[in-house]
Each structure stands twice: as structure tokens, then as C-alpha cells.
Amino acid sequence: MKKTLVLIFSLGLVSILLSSCAKKTLKDYAAKHGVKTGVAVAVSDLNNEEHLQIIRENSSIVVAENCMKWESVHPGKTTWNWNEVDRMIEFAEKNKIAVKWHTLFWHNQNPRFLSSLETREQALEVMDEHITTIMTRYKGRISEYDVVNEMFNEDGTMRETIWYKTIGPDYIEHALIKARETDPNAKLFLNEYNNEEQGNKKADAMYEMVKDFVKRGIPIDGVGFQLHLATIYPYNAVAVKSNIRRYADLGLEVSFSEVDVRMPVPPSENSLKTQTKIYSSLAKLAKEEPNVTSFITWGFTDKQSWVPYTFTGYGDALLYNRDLKKKPVYEAVLQEFAKK
Ligand code: 9MR
């Protein structure tokens, strides 16, 4: 009996020691600073064990790259495709990973039936039905939503999407109110690109709109900075920081929601250095600014990224190479989160 007890005790001790020596990952280090890390997941990743292993290692939150968009999930007025969404959520839940819904409203990847909307009343009805169907079905299982994606033009005017044209500029607040009413525990975000630097027209327009929402009590929890950056363009960490802080002053979170840093390929030493500087600076901001709550890359491997399809001659924007190996820039991001 005594021997058995000693054995059980020793085994317990060994397992405690082993787990405390286990190598800390990016998501562990980031969690210490209150930052969730993660990646955009493609449906094809769900059939690839090697990919799934990388996603598990790096994610405390995942976002669907495409399968939660209208054309995929809600292709006809009364047609819904839940299969891929369910599979993604089940994978995440099994691995204790949070899920962000991307995206309820956008101007891209919409089904044809939306273009037949004409009146404000019709559009509001379809909008409400989309929100309530999804948010009721996944209540308690989706922790945050990109309620509206990419609502501004570069000059800070509102993008004239189907929602803007049929409902009017108040479509965004209407969507936020309905979303909060449907699942009061889900966090509600508005997501944009080129909105990260204070002083940029789009960034300032977005801030003014959100400030007004807060003032008027329109429900919102945060803003997503997509951060699809490029080594060839200037990057101003000071302006990103002051933008983050003005949202903190409003009591709002900032999500680094779709990070990638592209460069001309094959990359020069200089581009690689610049890319590492930008990624490290973003990790530092995420770590130091308490209202930055997530750091999500738009995919993980250079083998599978939207970048080369959209920007000919550019690529290598992510943290894993085409052979699914961690690149030096991955280690730089990890080190930044690991530092005090
Ligand atoms: O990565 C997505 C790609 O597979 C799609 O073809 C594309 C369609 O527009 O959308 C990409 O994801 C976008 C995201 O949903 C919103 N921000 C910009 C992303 C890259 O284009």
C-alpha cells in the first residue's frame, strides 16, 4: 500500500515537472499579457492534420477565412449552409479555442439575392433575419463578431454598399443594436483595413463614428485593425499607438484582426529585416497596450495566403514558410511576447 502511494506520488510529481518544463508557445506568452493569438482558418485546413496541429499550437482564438461569409453560409434567401461552420466551431471547441465570426455584413462575397433588395424595410428585414438566425444558433459559442467589415472608403467617406444604399448610413448602428439584443454576451467589433494609424483619413473617420456611437449608447466593444501591411510602405508605430489609446479612452478594445506583412518575392535581406521590425512592433504594441486583446494572422503558411493572388510579385507575408516551418520572423514575434 505504502509502495503504491509512493509510486502514485512520484508519478504525479514527474508529470507536474514535465508540464512546467513544456516549451511555452506563442499563445502562452501572449496570454500572459492578456492577448489572444490565432489565425484565419480555411475549410481545407480542417482536412489537414499538419495544418490543424499548427493551428492548435498557436491559437486561443480562430476566425474563419471564408465559410462564415454570406455567399457561403446564407447563399439563398431561405438557404443556409451550416456544415463547414459547424465543423470549424466543433474543432475549436474540442481544443478550447474561441471563435470569432467573420463577418455579418460586408460588400464582398455576397449572394445574388441581396442585389434585389430595394427598400429600407426589405433590407432591414433581411439584415435582422441574418443576425438573429446566426446569433441565436451559435449563442454562447461565438465569442466575438465582426458585425460590419470595411465600411469606409480611403477618403473617410462611407462605402456605398448594398446596406448603405438601401438602409442608409444608420445600417451600422442598426446591426450593432440587433446583434447586442440577440446575444448580449458576444463582443461586437467593426473591422477595417488602413484604419490603424491616427491621422489617416479612414482611421480618423472610423474613430469619429465609433466615438459618436459610444456617446449615443450604441452597443460596441471594439474595433478591428486588419493590418494587411507591406514592407514597401511606411509604417508608423507612434500613430498606431495613439490610435489604440484613443480607443482605450472610449473604453474599447482593439483587435489586430488579419495581420500579414507582404514583400516583393523573392525577398531581399532588407525586406526581411523590415518585415521583422513591423511584426515585432505589432507584438510589442499588443503586449503593452492593455486594450489590444487579440493578435490574429490572416492564415499561417506562405503556401496558402490571399497575398500572391491579389498583389502580383508579392508574398511571404506570414509566419510559417511554404514547408510549414516557423520562419525567423515567427521567433521574433515569440521573443517579443516572451519579454517582460
Ligand atoms: O482571404 C480571403 C480570400 O480567400 C477571399 O478570396 C477574399 C475575397 O474578398 O477575402 C479574403 O479575406 C479578406 C477578409 O475577409 C477581409 N479583409 C481582407 C481579406 C483579404 O482579402
Q: Is residue 44 in contact with ligand 1, taking CB distance under 6 Å? A: no
- The three cell numbers locating residue 289: 497596450
Kindly report, residue by residue over 19-70, the tens digit of the pLDDT: 444 688 999 999 999 999 999 999 999 999 999 999 999 999 999 999 999 9
Those residues of the chain that have pLDDT short of 70 are 1-22
Give 66-70's long-range contacts (Cβ < 8 A, gap of 24+).
66/42, 66/109, 67/43, 68/101, 68/102, 68/103, 69/102, 69/103, 69/106, 69/108, 69/109, 70/106, 70/109, 70/110, 70/111, 70/114, 70/130
Residue with CA closest to ligand 1 atom 14: 65
Quick one: 25-338 is in which CATH superfamily?
Glycosidases (3.20.20.80)
Q: Is the CB of 113 under 6 A from ligand 1?
A: no
- Cβ of 311 less than 6 Å from ligand 1: no
- Residue spans of the domains in the chain: they are 25-338
What pLDDT was estimated at residue 2? Answer: 54
pLDDT at 4: 55
- CA–centroid distance, 199 to ligand 1, in Å, is 26
Q: Is the CB of 48 under 6 A from ligand 1?
A: no
Question: Which pLDDT value is given to residue 18?
Answer: 47
pLDDT tens readout for residues 293-313 = 999 999 999 999 999 999 999
The DSSP bridge pattern shows strands 253-264 and 314-315 to be antiparallel
Whole-number pLDDT of residue 23: 80
Alpha-helix runs per DSSP H in the chain: 2-21, 26-32, 49-58, 70-73, 83-94, 120-137, 162-167, 171-182, 201-216, 237-249, 269-288, 307-310, 328-338
Residues belonging to the active site: 150, 258
How remote is the CA of residue 227 from the centroid of ligand 1, in Å?
A: 13
Question: Which of 62, 65, 71 to mutate to test ligand 1, by most ligand atoms within 8 A of the CB atom?
Answer: 65
